[in-house]
A and B are shown apart, each in its own frame.
Chain A
Amino acid sequence: MLDPLDPVIHAPVRLRIMVTLAALGPGDDLSFSRLQSLHQLTAGNLITHLRKLEDAGYVLTRKQGRATSARLTEEGRVAFTTYRRTLRSMLG
C-alpha cells in the first residue's frame, strides 16, 4: 500500500516553491521578490501558497524591514524528500 502524496506539496505552484527552497544551501533563505521573479508569480498568488506551506510547518518566512524572505524548515525538507520518494515508488 502506497502512502498518499502530501496534499500540501501536491499543487504545481507549491511544488515549485518547495523545489526552489530545497535547492538553496543549508541555512540559506530567498527573498520574496526573487522567488516571485524565478517563477513569474503574482504577489498575491505567492503569498497564498507560501502561507499554506508555512501553516503546514514546511516553510518559515521572515520579515526584515520591507523585505520578506522564506526558507525551508527541517520538517519541510523531510516532507519534500518523502514526496519525491513516494512519486518514485509509484513508478514501481
Chain B
Amino acid sequence: MTEAFDPGEALGMIEDEESRVRRALAVNLPVQLLAWGVAWLVGFLALWLDVRAHSTYTPPGTLSSLVFFALLLVAGVVTAIATTRATRGVGGRTARTGARLGLGWGVGYGGFVLVAGGVAVYGTPEAASVMMTAGAVLIAGLMYLLSGAVWDDPLLVRLGVGIIAVGGVASWTGPVWAPLVAGVAGGGGLLVAAGLAARRRRA
C-alpha cells in the first residue's frame, strides 16, 4: 500500500468492505418476514376454510391444524437459519439482546398456551377459538413492536402496531371470521413489511 498509493482507492475499499461486512452480519429480515407472512396467510386461510364449512361452529379439524402448525414450523426453521447464519461468532451486547428477544417469543407463547388452555376449559369453544387466533396475533405484534424499539427499526415498530390492530379487530369478528382477518390482514401485513425490508436492504 506504499507504492503508487491512491487514497481515493483506499477510501473506496474501506466503504465497500464496510458494506459487505455489515450485510454479512445483518440478519436477513425480508426472508424471515416472507416466511412468516406466507405461513400466516396460508395457515390461517386453511383454518378459516375448515371452520366456515360447518353450519354451527366447530373448531378446526386435524388436517387444517396440521397445515397451520407445519407452516409455522417451516417459518421457525427459516428464522433460525437466517439468524444463526448472520450472527455466528458475534458476541457481546447485540447477542445478549437478540437472545433475550428470542426468550420473549418463547416465554410469551409458552404463557399464552396456558392462558388459552384455561379459556378452553372454562369458556365456550367459540371464546377459546377467538382467544387462540387474536391472542396469538397480539403477542406477535407486541414482539415486533418490542424488537423495533430495541433495534431502533421504525419498520418493525409500524409492523408491530399494525399486527396488534389486526389482533384486536380479528377478535370482534368472531370465531369463524377471525382466522380470515388474521390471515389476510396479518399475513398480508407481514408480506408488505417483507417487501419494504427487501427494498431497504437493496438500497
Residue positions of A touching B, CB distance < 8 A:
10-12, 15-16, 19-20, 22-31, 33-35, 38, 69, 71, 84, 87-88, 90-91
Contact = CB atoms under 8 A, between A and B. Distances in A.
B89 A23 contact: no
Given A87-B10, A88-B11, A91-B7, A38 B21 contact: yes
A19 B17 contact: yes
Contact of B93 (A12, A19, A23, A25): A25
Q: For the complex, would chain B's binding face be called helix, strand, loop or mixed by DSSP majority?
A: helix
Interface in B1-32: 1, 7-8, 10-11, 13-14, 17-18, 21-22, 24-25
A68 to B, nearest CB: 11
A29 B91 contact: yes
Given A12-B1, A15-B14, A16-B17, A30 B22 contact: no
Interface of B: 1, 7-8, 10-11, 13-14, 17-18, 21-22, 24-25, 88-95
A20 B90 CA distance: 11
Contact of B1 (A11, A38, A91): A11
A69 B91 CA distance: 8
A28 to B, nearest CB: 4
B21 A84 contact: no
- Counting from the closest, the 8 A-B pairs by CB-CB distance are A34-B89, A31-B89, A28-B92, A27-B93, A90-B7, A87-B7, A23-B21, A19-B17
Contacts of B91: 28-31, 69
Contacts of A22: 18
A69 B88 CA distance: 12
Contacts of A31: 88-91
A16 B24 CA distance: 14
A53 to B, nearest CB: 16
A25 B10 CA distance: 23
B21 A35 contact: no
Contact of A23 (B7, B11, B25): B25
Given A15-B14, A20-B21, A30 B7 contact: no
Contacts of A38: 21, 24
9 contacts: A20-B21, A23-B21, A23-B22, A27-B93, A30-B89, A30-B91, A35-B89, A71-B92, A87-B7
B93 A91 contact: no
B89 A10 contact: no
